[in-house]
Amino acid sequence: MRGLSTLMKISGNPTWQQTMLRIKNPSAVDYYTQKMGMTLIDTYKFDSFSLFFLATMEKPYLLKPGSTEAHQFLWSFPGTTLELTHNHGTESNPDFKYHAGNEEGDGFGHICFNCEDVYSASSSLEADGVKFKKRPDEGRMKGLAFAYDDDGYWVELVKRSETTKFVNQYNLSQTMLRVKDAKKSISFYESLGMNLLRENHFDSFSLYFMATLLPGATPPPSDSPEARDYVKSLYGPVLELTHNHGTEAQPDFEHKNGNEEGKQGFGHIGFLVDDVNLACSELAAAGATFRKEPNGGKMKGLAFVLDPDGYSVEIIKRGGYDDEATPFFY
């Protein structure tokens, strides 16, 4: 089991900065910009793959994706982005597809957007050609919906708090991961600066909602009635940890983490820190396991630590290492 001994928040002001999904075709970016109202804030193109970073923005974004200014903005961005990774050539293979999750044993579940009216939003999206797994009036849980994106990932639609008014029709509001042992996972993400904002318990499973909060934020107790509305009022996303009761007592139980051969789709989540080496040394001292240490691999200066379920968590230097804010070096 990948876990940590007692560890408080690591040094360097860790903040949740990204959720990464692999895409077959770069046209998948259009789904999120044209359908879900996200803004493409930056791009990187390498020999064999390209990266697209999108965010829900409150104000018009005037920087050119791929520019030095956009790089500088991205790696100091206080919010959370959706990183779409395209491995060149997959778009030309008619039989190629990524594993979108939600099959037996899968860990990644979905991403989510909040909106004012799920019924109206669902109707508009369906009229625009979006396919749905669940419409808001279907199934046992009414009032929420699940659409499919171009790669088959589930995109949940949830009604935001009625007391909250955003200019955006949609705001990126959630990444859901299934966890084996909620206590271990919550402790791990608390060490990365996240706060437990809400917990919701059912007969066979529990949901835990965590987020990086702005300085000075004072959320209500996570088990209070006010916690539900607080989470729905946030502009930025929460990390939803879903725990199916009893898995923590099964020694051999594990979720697929999205990076296994034949199961690749979801890739990782990522956090910005002021000092990657210091943050990783504190994680290592607490017993964390690394997929890639800061000085490992071709791209130096960034790391991938494994959370208690084996999900990859990227540790990235805030502001990068040079004038272009490059978050790695060779």
Bridge partners, 53 (sequence order)? 42, 83
Contact 148, 102 (CB under 8 A): no
Residue with tokens 């659409």: 147
CA gyration radius, the chain: 19
Q: What gap in Å lies between CA 3 and CA 5, rounded to an integer?
A: 7
Of 10, 5, 6, 1, the C-alpha closest to 303 is 10
How are beta strands 303-306 and 289-292 bridged, if at all? antiparallel
In the structure encoding, which two tokens stand for residue 292, read together?
């890639």
User: Could you give the residue ranges of the DSSP H alpha helices within 153-263?
Assistant: 182-191, 226-232
User: Which of 156, 199, 240, 293 is an active site residue?
Assistant: 156
Q: Three-class SS of residue 275?
A: coil
Residue 89: strand, helix, or coil: coil
Q: Which of 83, 240, 282, 314 is catalytic?
A: 314
For residue 255, which amino acid is it? H
Active site residue 254: no
Alpha-carbon dihedral 60, 115, 79, 53, rounded to 10 degrees: -70
CA atoms of 275 and 285, how far apart (whole Å):
16
Length reported for the chain: 330
As to burial, measured by CB atoms within 10 angstroms (0-12 exposed, 13-18 middle, 19+ buried), residue 207 is middle
Active site residue 314: yes
Q: Is 84 exposed, middle or buried (0-12, 13-18, 19+ CB in 10 A)?
A: buried
**DSSP three-state, residue 24:** coil
Q: How many helices (H) and strands (E) does the chain have?
A: 6, 16
Active site residues: 156, 314
